[in-house]
Structure 1
Amino acid sequence: MGLRLPAGIELASFRPRLLDDWRQYNRQRFVQDISAGLTVGVVALPLAMAFAIASGVKPEQGLITAIIAGFLISALGGSSVQIGGPAGAFIVIVYGIVQRYGLGNLLIATVLAGALMFLMGLFKLGVLVRYIPVTIVIGFTNGIAVLIAVSQVKDLLGLKIEHLPADFFSQIRTLAHHLDSFNPIALCIGLGCLAIVILWPKLYALPAVAHSPAQRMLKAVARLPGTIVALGLATASTALFGLSVETIGSRFGGIPQTLPSPQWPAFSWDGIRQLFIPTLTIAMLGAIESLLCARVADSLSDRPRHDPNQELMGQGVANMVVPFFGGIPATGTIARTVTNVRSGATSPVAGMVHALTLLAVVLVAAPLASHVPLSALAGILLYVAWNMGEWHEFVRLRQFSMLYRVLLVGTFVLTVVFDLTVAVEVGLVMACIFFIYRMSTLFRVEAVALPADAPGTVQLITLYGSLFFGAVAKVEAIAQHLRPNTQVLVLDMQRLISMDTTGLDALQQLHRSLQRRGVRLVLCHLNEQPRGLMERSGFAAELGAHNIVPDVRAALATAAA
């Protein structure tokens, strides 16, 4: 049971999934988790550096995030197999915040966003993320993928641009103005890495039985992640042949061989006030990405389903801690989580091993990263951007309604042209408006013919659907369409499933309008929710118990009395 507040609000209990998995842990599961963690650690190495560089920060900040946040998310989260760390979805957001507010304010916004995510989980708001329409998620995901791809053109072509703007159209203009500094060697390296990453999985289709030493060696090599193979070949070529391309060493001076000491960010009230929107954006995107990723992991794994509230609390703690070491926002990552599941992970231990693997690489092999060409990371990120987008949804648009198309395409365009916050805010407003419109069209007011022996002064109308603020106009029009000789109006509410206070007010106004005309209102077949609302508001007493009857027959008998 969670904590209970004096007002009766129940808080979620802080219980990481690791504690539950530990009860049935054994040596076999430990071996599987070690193997999966090592595999994911190797996959995460180039992605952590690439995401950091694309976000406008140093590569070691991506590694620090993957190590510290990745460990905490696995240890404290609500999923058995989710892997956390820097994510592609954050690239555009982090880059924009760094350009506008500076790195120091990014760290503060990340701490505040972590606190907000923790509170969301504590107050059991994790389920609310599922209420965001899939059209909005697809729209902003595809928009972010486009922005990531555009941001990588600079390093892919080796353009000499000191600062790339955060705005989409400014980026396009800046790239076009610097095309004369194009480096063909950088393009060849980037496209070569992209080709390796795309084609490498084809080696998995090799025959199951290897007959020759060469086939056995090829199958063993095929187990390596394509990103590591591409990065290794590009780095070795650059170092051995002295290729004239920009590298991590030439831009950032290499990667430190130690973890940084914790430092306290410079907090100020004025600074916090201007970071409201960045904080909200990081928290919202982190929550959406982590819970979507956890749902994907649930569908691929036979482990118990994730706890969304605990997952948000774990993500919140990680994002509150990692900025003190210079890290950037972290969330659940689909590519690394899927790799973790397919590698046989059984518990959060695999994610913790993944973080320790990255730590070992930093402590031992950090100097080697100086020769990594930035165009190679750009090629890898282009592949990430392509996989991130759900491009087939654009092809399928003609199969769906106009409302679906407007919502998806509108969110996509707003994400590219403006930013994620504007896109989601406008998308949610549009989704609400479309939902209200759709629900209002489902509400019907239908006149029903009475038996031949029924009095001619009685008129029967049936209400269908939900009577809410978006549909009250149809109730308000009832009085205008009554027959001139009508003395009793019977509303059959058997098919009225719900009613809100605005709908109740419309009924009250109808009753008073009928009273002025000398027409009596009788209700029958009241369902539980409308009846309860009428009784609590006093409308049932105003109408009178004799005018609320069980069925149409009783209504006709009441009208004849």
Structure 2
Amino acid sequence: MQQKFSFSGRYSGYNLRNFQKDVLSGLVVGVIAIPLGMAFAIASGVKPEYGIYTTIIAGILISVFGGSKYQIGGPTGAFIPILFGIVMTYGYENLLIAGFLAGIMLLLMGILRLGSLIKFIPRPVTVGFTSGIAVIIFFGQIGNFLGLTGTKTHEYFHQNVFEVISHINIINFYSILTALICLMTIILTPKFIPKVPGPIIGLVLSTIVASIFFPSHVATIGSTYGDIPNSLPKFHIPEITVERIISLLGPAFVIAMLGAIESLLSAVVADGMTKSKHNSNRELFGQGIANMVTPLFGGIPATGAIARTATNIKNGAFSPIAGITHGFVVLIILLLFGPYASNIPLASMAPILMVVAWNMSERKVFIHLLKTKTEDSLVLVITFLLTVFVNLTVAVPVGLLLAILLFTKRMSEMLVTVKALPNPDTKQKKVESQVVTDGHDCPQISIYNVEGPLFFGAAQTFESSIMKTINLKPRVLLLRMGRVPFMDTTGEVYLSSIVKDFSKSGIILISGMKSQPKKMLKKTGLYDLIGEENFFDHTGEAIDYALKHLDQDKCIGCKHFAFSECTVLSKENHKKLLTKSSS
């Protein structure tokens, strides 16, 4: 494993040939990133050049400081709904502050080594919000695709649906033609010219057609947002106040979590494609640095981009040099051709985002999870619907909470507490539950098989099952806990309650307890209360000990014969009784 944030190993065996591959890959990915950066920025409610600035600055910094050799960072579609909501609610200046705060959070997550915790987010939650984001992005481009004018963009999905429906009578067929040219080019290019990036070809071709044949009939970037400057913005620190920080902590946290999830998922995809291993904590550290610096130059939040990272690998990338090159390629193109981008029709941008939405929708996984008709399906649907109709700030926490509750419910159902006795028909006289019947159950020794985690979700059920036995007042209570892998403090409290109640009139024995539950009992003092002599490694030893502590007078006339020793005990005690009565 690599050192925490060292640069060692990232350029091991690097040579001129590898450098050439990195430069070529960086060139291809840089060209692809330009239309995507502008499209993501526009969809997020900000000027297109801010997406380009993000691609340059964040792209370079993520490659330099990140934990994956192949990661390509920049603005992504996953951020669109949350960023648009922040812009609508708080404004662009506050978006920069939220992005900066998110960068601090990501930096701290990396320093505190929290990278591995991201893997505990359930798959239905990630698929649910990813599919929801895809729906929002796709539908959000319908207006530009159809060339609708006079429409207002709202924060909520259903409001935007009504807005499109109410303006459907003013469709611009020139916009539709422009969008279709771009869309068909994006779809067909990989089939005929797989090494050429479809989005940039579609963008150029549709822009040329629109500029020559109907230049004044479609809205362009320039006519809507103004000309794109061919320079980077000046360094600027937003006005940060305590009030702003407090109001933006929630949105910043969502940006940080989404950025962490997206970047680490992208790094995992890269690992699978290259048989390599990324450093998750360092990746979060790099994401934090990038998101702290980018807002100071007007950029929006960034993360690892799965599609661009995959493209980077397919084009032969060997090291982070490819990602750094991609950033400088975008910078050079901005400086040389920035003003020309102002002529790009908005209708040409729409298909690019629609294809991105289609590719990120995870529709196959979504349908598969739905077909399972399990609790995961419920988590998936609720997360999806909340993402679409409310926002990610609500969807992700609710999805996580629901997943935790359903998981807790499933785990609580796994705990089985059932009476058992040795089975005389087996060679080793295994202690099994099906042996116990009304006519075959020792009145003085109650044995319970306890199987499953003894935690807060199952502890009360465990106690109620045992308390029924206590009410029958057996002499010995034997708990077989060899299949209890885990016990939390709630489970310990309920076990302690059983021990204290039962110890008043009987003896409690425990066999086969694993190390974690035993450590828990030692920490709380319950181990000493039960007594070390009452813990056994094997059930047979515990049963032998229990038989020695019976009230043997109660064995007289007992017809249960629950143990093989019962026949002898019954006869011996019967003889003792006859001897007493004759004397």
1:99-114 alignment runs, 5 A limit: 99-114=88-103
Gap runs ≥5 in structure 1: 3-11, 205-221
Do the aligned residues in 2 keep the contact of 1:293 with 1:333 (CA within 8 Å)? yes
Q: Secondary structure at the match of 2:503?
A: helix
Counterpart CA distance in 2 for 1:370 and 1:242 is: 16
Q: Is 1:245 aligned to 2:218, yes or no?
A: yes
1:345: which partner in 2?
317
Counterpart CA distance in 2 for 1:22 and 1:547 is: 60
- Measured after TM superposition, the shift of residue 147 of structure 1 is 0.5
Gap runs ≥5 in structure 2: 430-440, 550-583
Do the aligned residues in 2 keep the contact of 1:238 with 1:371 (CA within 8 Å)? no
Count of residue pairs brought into register by the alignment? 531
1:481-520 alignment runs, 5 A limit: 481=469, 484=472, 486-516=474-504, 518-520=505-507
Do the aligned residues in 2 keep the contact of 1:51 with 1:87 (CA within 8 Å)? yes
1:68-467 alignment runs, 5 A limit: 68-161=57-150, 163-204=152-193, 223-243=195-215, 244-302=217-275, 304-450=276-422, 456-467=443-454
Give the TM-score normalised by the residue count of structure 1. 0.91
- Measured after TM superposition, the shift of residue 483 of structure 1 is 8.1
RMSD: 1.9
Give the TM-score normalised by the residue count of structure 2. 0.88
Do the aligned residues in 2 keep the contact of 1:52 with 1:61 (CA within 8 Å)? yes
Counterpart CA distance in 2 for 1:358 and 1:325 is: 15
1:21-100 alignment runs, 5 A limit: 21-100=10-89
Counterpart CA distance in 2 for 1:161 and 1:339 is: 38
Counterpart CA distance in 2 for 1:359 and 1:427 is: 39
Counterpart CA distance in 1 for 2:200 and 2:537 is: 73
Do the aligned residues in 1 keep the contact of 2:222 with 2:343 (CA within 8 Å)? yes
CA 1:455 to 1:112, structure 2 compared with 1: closer, same or farther past 3 Å? Answer: closer
Counterpart CA distance in 2 for 1:146 and 1:98 is: 20
Counterpart CA distance in 2 for 1:316 and 1:73 is: 9
Cα offsets for 1:136-156 (capped at 9, x unmatched): 000000000000012111211
- Identical-residue share of aligned pairs (%): 42
- Measured after TM superposition, the shift of residue 455 of structure 1 is 6.6
Do the aligned residues in 1 keep the contact of 2:189 with 2:196 (CA within 8 Å)? no
Counterpart CA distance in 2 for 1:23 and 1:224 is: 30
Do the aligned residues in 1 keep the contact of 2:291 with 2:301 (CA within 8 Å)? yes
List 4+ stretches of structure 1 deviating above 3 A. 450-456, 481-485
1:13: which partner in 2?
4
- Measured after TM superposition, the shift of residue 93 of structure 1 is 1.1
- Measured after TM superposition, the shift of residue 178 of structure 1 is 1.9
Q: Secondary structure at the match of 1:275?
A: helix
Q: Secondary structure at the match of 1:22?
A: coil
CA 1:310 to 1:451, structure 2 compared with 1: closer, same or farther past 3 Å? Answer: closer
Cα offsets for 1:364-407 (capped at 9, x unmatched): 11121121000110011111100010112343235424201101
Q: Secondary structure at the match of 1:277?
A: helix
Q: Secondary structure at the match of 2:222?
A: helix
CA 1:483 to 1:153, structure 2 compared with 1: closer, same or farther past 3 Å? Answer: same
- Measured after TM superposition, the shift of residue 438 of structure 1 is 1.0
Which piece of structure 1 moves more, 310-319 or 532-541? Answer: 532-541
Which piece of structure 1 moves more, 390-399 or 105-114? Answer: 390-399
Counterpart CA distance in 2 for 1:484 and 1:66 is: 73
**For 2:455, which of 468, 474, 484 is the aligned residue?**
468
Do the aligned residues in 2 keep the contact of 1:475 with 1:510 (CA within 8 Å)? no
For 2:535, the aligned partner's letter is I
Which piece of structure 1 moves more, 475-484 or 64-73? Answer: 475-484
Counterpart CA distance in 1 for 2:423 and 2:248 is: 68
Which piece of structure 1 moves more, 405-414 or 238-247? Answer: 238-247
- Measured after TM superposition, the shift of residue 278 of structure 1 is 1.0
Cα offsets for 1:229-277 (capped at 9, x unmatched): 1111111112222331000111122210111111111111111111111
For 1:247, the aligned partner's letter is T
Highest RCO, 1 vs 2 (Cα 8 Å, sep ≥ 6) = 1
Cα offsets for 1:279-308 (capped at 9, x unmatched): 111111111100000100111114x31111
Which piece of structure 1 moves more, 365-374 or 454-463? Answer: 454-463
Do the aligned residues in 1 keep the contact of 2:470 with 2:502 (CA within 8 Å)? no
- Measured after TM superposition, the shift of residue 435 of structure 1 is 1.0
1:550: which partner in 2?
537
- Measured after TM superposition, the shift of residue 463 of structure 1 is 0.7
Do the aligned residues in 1 keep the contact of 2:151 with 2:164 (CA within 8 Å)? no
Cα offsets for 1:513-533 (capped at 9, x unmatched): 2234x2321111221111111
CA 1:394 to 1:313, structure 2 compared with 1: closer, same or farther past 3 Å? Answer: closer
CA 1:484 to 1:281, structure 2 compared with 1: closer, same or farther past 3 Å? Answer: closer
Do the aligned residues in 2 keep the contact of 1:445 with 1:464 (CA within 8 Å)? yes
CA 1:379 to 1:485, structure 2 compared with 1: closer, same or farther past 3 Å? Answer: closer
